[in-house]
Amino acid sequence: MHKILISREVYPEVLARLEQHFEVDYHAVDAPLTPKQLASRLADKDGVLTMPTERIDAALLAACPRLKVVCNSAVGYNNIDLDACTRAGVMATNTPGVLDDTTADIAWALLLASARHIAAADQWVRTGQWGGWKFKGWLGQDVHHATLGILGMGRIGQAVARRAAGFEMRVIYHNRTRLSAQREAECRATCVDRATLLRESDFLVLMLPYSPESHHAIGAAELAQMKPTAHLINVARGGIVDDAALIEALQARRIAGAGLDVFEGEPALDPRFFTLDNAVLTPHIGSASSATRMKMAMLAADNLIAALNGDRPPNLLNPQVEKPAR
Ligand code: GLV
């Protein structure tokens, strides 16, 4: 029987499913193992169900000679060195598709919260500062009929775009490859160049995967091109935005606000974030609904079962490694 590790607490249903197939070593705690603990628990394993907080790199792989598959319970996989996996003959998988709507929902939650000062106003009420209704108090920005810009128009970007119809917004996007005319019509979205996207968006939502190419895709130069009334929403990955440049832009009111679920070096945020009254901050909870987390972990389990049974895992990221080299 193959041996696997589940690197974090998941649902009992996921554990039960995997126990039908494998000898399971379960880290039943919702906190990451240290890299050293991970290496030692993985040393005799054939597969692992991981979370985005676990770093899977060449050094770890070298310490795990039996490992054949790494199944991330996340769509993003920048925690996994895919080339190192391929070189080591280890399959890697992710969980695309099942979290699109949940993540699109939180992009909208942050967009609306940023536009209408929801987090700061809530804090103000709770701390007893509300002295009476004001005609000019807490004036925000209209979302309806504004221009929504989306950078990165994959499945989640498209789900964000589709939701804009109810707000009767104009939707523009920029992507490496243009969507088909049919997809554009479904999303009611127009493809524009990056400069137009930056210049014309009232709300700019980032939906790119993180990679060396998308590192600091939004920095001081890009923020300078945005409208002073614009809001930036990032539910993709920390590192796509240059956080120091964003903090400076928010402090100087070069843009109006930001809704952020992901940060460079999270969970250790730049402390200047805490002093901003024009940023809404959430702790990387984009896919965090019970139903979606269950689907993600079950999909990661499906991938693990397929891979170790000699079938092609449904979400294989490195098809070069179809037959594990060891
Ligand atoms: C979560 O961050 C994911 O990539 O699924």
Residue from 60, 56, 84, 59 nearest 70 by CA:
56
Residues 29 and 70 in one domain: yes
Q: Domain check: are 92 and 179 in the same one?
A: no
Q: Which residues contact 252 (CB under 8 A, 6 or more apart)?
A: none
CATH number for the domain harbouring residue 208: 3.40.50.720
Q: In this predicted structure, what is the pLDDT of residue 94?
A: 98
Task: Output the CA 196–ligand 1 centroid distance in Å.
Answer: 28
Residue 23 lies in a domain: yes
Task: Please indicate, yes or no, if residue 250 is contained in any of the structural domains.
Answer: yes
Q: Measured between alpha carbons, how far apart are the two ends of the chain, in Å?
A: 17
Q: Give the binding-site residues of ligand 1, using a 6 Å CB cut-off.
A: 52, 74-76, 99, 286-287
Q: Which of 129, 23, 105 is nearest to 289 (CA)?
A: 105
Q: Are residues 177 and 308 in the same domain?
A: no
Residue 149 within a domain: yes
Task: Quick: pLDDT tens for 96-123.
Answer: 999 999 999 999 999 999 999 999 999 9
Does residue 137 share a domain with residue 44?
no
209 alpha carbon to ligand 1 midpoint, in Å?
10
Beta strands, E only, the chain: 3-6, 23-26, 47-50, 69-72, 91-93, 147-151, 170-174, 189-191, 203-206, 231-234, 257-260, 279-281
For residue 151, the cross-strand partners are: 174, 206
Burial state string for 33-68 with b = 16 or more CB within 10 A and e = fewer than 16: beeeebbebbeebbbbbbbbebebeeebbeebeebb
Say whether both 126 and 235 belong to one domain: yes
Alpha carbon distance 24, 2 (integer Å): 9
**pLDDT tens, position by position, 32-74:** 999 999 999 999 999 999 999 999 999 999 999 999 999 999 9
Kindly state whether residue 251 falls inside one of the protein's structural domains.
yes
The reply to whether 211 and 313 lie within a common domain is no
196 assigned to some structural domain: yes
Total structural domains within the chain: 2
Does 134 share its domain with 268? Answer: yes
3-class secondary-structure state, position 59: helix
- Give the pLDDT confidence score for residue 326 in this predicted structure: 44
Query: Is position 294 within any domain?
Result: yes
Let me know whether 250 and 128 are in one domain: yes
Q: Which atom of ligand 1 is nearest to the CA of 284?
A: 2
Do 18 and 165 belong together in one domain?
no
Residue 57 lies in a domain: yes
Q: What is the pLDDT of residue 325?
A: 44
Do 212 and 116 lie in one domain? The reply is yes
Q: Considering all CA atoms of the chain, what is the largest pairwise distance in Å, rounded to the nearest integer?
A: 70
Low-confidence ranges of the chain (pLDDT < 70): 323-326
Residue 322 confidence (pLDDT): 73
Q: Identify whether residues 192 and 223 lie together within a single domain.
A: yes
Domain containing residue 114 = 100-281
Task: Please say whether the beta carbons of 48 and 25 come within 8 A.
Answer: no
83 and 19 in a common domain? yes
Atom 4 in ligand 1: which residue has the minimum CA distance?
A: 76
Q: Which two tokens mark 254?
A: 């070069």
pLDDT of residue 49: 98
Q: Residue 326: inside a domain, yes or no?
A: no
Which are the catalytic amino acids?
237, 266, 284
What's the pLDDT score for residue 115?
A: 98
For residue 323, the model assigns a pLDDT of 62
